[in-house]
Structures are given as structure tokens and as C-alpha cells.
Structure 1
Amino acid sequence: MRQSYLELYEGGEGEIVEKKSRFLATIRPVKSEAEAAAVLEETRKKYWDANHNCTAYSIGVRNERVRCSDDGEPGGTAGRPMLDVLLGEQVHNVCAVVTRYFGGTLLGTGGLVRAYSRAVQEGLADCVILDKKPGQEILVTCDYNGIGKIQYTAGQMGVHTLDTSYTDIVTSRILVPEEQTDLFMKKVTEATNGRAVMELLGTPYFAEKDREILLFEE
């Protein structure tokens, strides 16, 4: 069975200041290493006069491709801590670039690790992250006597009716979490005495944003 996962949907920015050094986080959604490279290049052009542009990204629902770079900072003080934040938050398909403007005071190894980590956390706080869940889109066809029972069943189970069409019959597109599909179909069959006809239309991932259901074909 497919698993739910968190994915970056809309990017954001964050900034912290540590002993006069500025750390600017740029967080963007990416689906490939080429897209991650483009985010880094765009950030470098924007902050062309910065001392460092350190990166970390995680691509794929199982973190199939992860990379990080210290970009001249002492080894293990920037890219890896940034990546650890992304992996710890379990956000997928995300690229983080933290730009540093040196403030004249050395932060030491621990100070750098904390600063780069905090910058990524600040950036993520400005992002939109979706909880994407596997679902099944089902077309339910019934007569007018059965639609109320179907709607009641959907409401009781907390599944989403995407739309309903009323002609000589009633058809509803219903989005059911994958793990609830068998139970939903069983309850609809029982409620309508087997008169409802159900057809699988697709198996999208779905997420809720601002009370709107978003569908994703993957």
C-alpha cells in the first residue's frame, strides 16, 4: 500500500542574524537535481556578493536523491546540518540554499551548525507544506433514493465528494483514502441494497489546502 508523505508545495524565505553574520534561507520545491541546481544558480546570482551559498536537497518520496554542500565553510558545518533539518522534518522534494554574509566574527563549528540549521527552520516556517495521502477516486452511480444514503455514508466516514451530477440518475465522484476504500464500498453496497454501481476512476494522491482538496496524479 502506498504511504502518505510531506511535500513542499510553495517555497519561502527566512533570515537569522548571528554575531552580525546574516544567514538568508531560500527554500524551493524541486523534482529533479537539475531543478535544484537551477535554484542554487538563481540564488547565487541574486546574492552575488555573499561569502557562501550552502545547499541541501532531498528529492523523491523515499529520499532517493539527497545532496548537500558546505560551499567553503568548514566541513560538516553547513550543508549536512541543513540536510538534517530537511530529513528531520520529513519534507520531500525540497531544496534549501542558505546564503551567508560574514559579519566579522568567527562563530566556531557549533555556532555555524546552529546558525545554518536555524536558518533552514526559519525558511520552512514560511513555506506551504502539504500532507499528501494516497486516495482512490470512485464514480458512484445510483437512483435518487440512494443518493442520500451514499452522502450520509461519505459524511460518516469523512471522505470527500468532489462533485455530483443529477440527471435521470445520480452520479458522484468521491475521493476515498486508499486504506478506507474497501470499507466505503462495502457500506455503500449495504446502504443501497446493492443498487449503487461503483467504478474506479483513478488513484491520485490528495491533500487539503485552505479547505480545498488538491489532486495529484503520480
Structure 2
Amino acid sequence: MALEHLPEDSYLTLKRESEGVYKEKGSKFLAFAFPIKDENDIREHLEQLRKNYYDARHHCYAYILGKNQDLYRANDDGEPNHSAGDPILGQIRSNGLTNVMIVVVRYFGGTKLGVSGLINAYKTAAAEAIANNEIITAILHDKVKIDFEYLNMNEVMKLIKEYDLQILEQHFDNQCQLVVEVRQKHLEEITLKISDLNRVKIHIL
């Protein structure tokens, strides 16, 4: 789906983890692509790859986070400046992806590739990892808490059903509480409908 046709509360990302491989003059470039949610995911994936491929010379990577692709980084990990991280980042950008990280692990084969050779190798390995995955449209949600009296149960549950909201937490007593996921584009509409109900309150978490 082209970026201009995406709903405003959605973005393109990768469906799952995937791998790609590129070989050049004895050097091997192993690419690993991950869908990510935050910077904790980034640290965990890097630590795991550094444990699994501890004998590799370089672990170069790039990532983009956020609906507007506003948080990003490219890391050359000892390769010449802009020869590794930027080509990886370029592949994420050219596919219009966000909340994605790609790490390329290099095993040096004894022959230097030169900057242009490195740029091509890291770009190709990253592209291979994306090609072996599936690009999906993900929807942005907000978590909200709904407080209501038991007498309002039917009205509240009717809204839950109407908007097909996912219930994350629930507590039913005389005073009831639900934590639900609301698609961002429906948030204002649902908030207005709930505020029209007596003794029902909504809080965005």
C-alpha cells in the first residue's frame, strides 16, 4: 500500500523477524530484520545477536521508530563512516517502514571491499532481509480506562461491541472498570459517546 493511501492512524512495518545473506570476496553479511516497539526491543535484539555471533567483526544496524519516522539511528560499528548503517537505514526508509530494526553481522573474509563495496553489501543484505519478510499495515491504538456503575453495563458493552474494542483488563462490581484498546481514529467519537452517558467516565492512559 502506498504511503499516501494509508489511513492517518496507521503505518507500514514488518510482520515478523526475518533474515538475509550476502557474500562478497569471502566476507559474509548476515542480515536480521525485526519489528520493534521501543528502544528496549533494540537493546535486547542487539545483545542477543552479539551473544550468538560473538566472533563476528561488525554488528552494524539501523532502526526507525514512530508513526512519523521521527526517531531513527544508523550505526557503522567500526566500518568506515556511512558505509554500513546508512545503507541499512536507506532500505528501511525506501520501503516506507517504521518500528523496524535491521542488524547486519559481518564476518570479514580477508579482502577489503572498499567503501562502495561495503555500501552495496550492507544495502543488499538489508534488502534481502526485508524481501524475506512481509510488509503489513499496523494500526495505532490508545489505551483507555472506563469507569462506570453496574447499572450502565449494557450501555458500555454495547459501545465495546459496536467498535469491536479489545478488553485488556476488567473488574466488575457495583463500581466497574474496563481497560480497552481504542483505534486512534475512533477515540474522539467514543469519548463523546461515553461522556453522554450518566455516571460513566473515560480516561486516556
Whether these two folds match at TM > 0.5 is: yes
Q: Which one of the candidate residues 186, 197, 200 is aligned to 1:197?
A: 200
Cross-structure match for 2:39: 31
Answer yes or no: is the 8 Å Cα contact 1:54–1:97 preserved in 2. yes
Unaligned runs of 5+ in 1: 204-218
Contact 2:150 2:173 in 1 (8 A): no
Give how far 1:83 is off: 1.5
What code does the residue aligned with 2:60 have? T
Asked if 1:82 corresponds to 2:94, the answer is: no
CA drift of 1:184 comes to 0.9
What does the per-residue CA deviation read over 1:152-177, in whole Å, with 9 as the maximum and x for residues that have no partner?
22222232222333323543333323
- TM-score, length of structure 2 as denominator length: 0.61
Greater percentage in strand: 1
Q: Pick from 151, 155, 164 the counterpart of residue 149 of structure 1.
A: 155
- Counterpart of 2:200, as a letter, is V
Alignment counterpart, residue 142 of structure 2, candidates 92, 113, 135: 135
Question: 1:101–1:126: structure 2 CA closer, same or farther, 3 Å change rule?
Answer: farther
Counterpart-to-counterpart distance in 1, 2:156 and 2:172: 14
Q: State the Cα distance separating 1:199 from its structure 2 match.
A: 3.4
Equivalent residue number for residue 167 of structure 1: 173
Amino acid corresponding to residue 31 of structure 1 in structure 2: E
| Paired position in structure 2 for 1:66 | 73
Which SS does the other structure have where 1:91 is aligned? Answer: coil
- Which 5+ residue runs of structure 2 have no aligned equivalent? 1-7
* TM-score normalised per structure 1: 0.58
1:96-121 deviation digits (Å, cap 9, x = unpaired): 23314439797994x75454223224
How many residues align structurally? 190
Which piece of structure 1 moves more, 129-138 or 166-175?
129-138
Distance 1:141 1:58, change over 3 A: same
Q: Distance in 1 between matches of 2:76 and 2:33?
A: 15
Q: Is the 8 A contact 1:63 1:92 kept in 2?
A: no
Q: 1:104 to 1:25 in 2, by over 3 A?
A: same
Which position in structure 1 is the counterpart of 2:50?
A: 43
Distance 1:168 1:80, change over 3 A: closer
